[in-house]
Amino acid sequence: MRLDSLADAGLIMDFSYVLTPFLAWLVAGVMKFTINSIKARQLAFGLIGYGGLPSNHSTIVSSMAALIALKEGIAHPAFGVAITLALIVILDASSLRRQVGKHAVAINYLTAASKASDPLRERMGHTRIEVAAGILVGIGIAGAVSTTLG
């Protein structure tokens, strides 16, 4: 069987579906590290983690939803699944994890005098701007991959 025949039969996955979320993660991570380093005026290795601009989670899920829309069309069932997953992840990033961060601030305040435990990480979740930036970066990555790889 030729390579084209294997791909048409669904036996070989389109490489762009693997490349896109990886590139989205990489680009968002580098952007976040750069922005945090500029803000902190030093290399911001200690700020790597949850929170910050752009939202890695939003970038990754929106890149996949956009790639599916570009390659398969918005009428394809996979696009519906991708949008559903994206909405769940984005809502989690912007509401639930943000509330967890607020709780960490309160708990750290209440336990500040105690040396019994390390402080909780307070930087959790994302603002609407961080999520929107992640969505835009994800769509941009999907567009670039779709244009480049076809």
pLDDT in tens, 31-55: 999 988 898 888 877 766 667 889 9
pLDDT value, residue 121? 75
pLDDT value, residue 50? 66
> Both tokens of residue 116?
């019994």
For 71-101, how does the pLDDT look when each residue is reduced to its tens digit (9 = 90+)? Answer: 999 999 999 999 999 999 998 888 877 777 7
pLDDT value, residue 115? 75
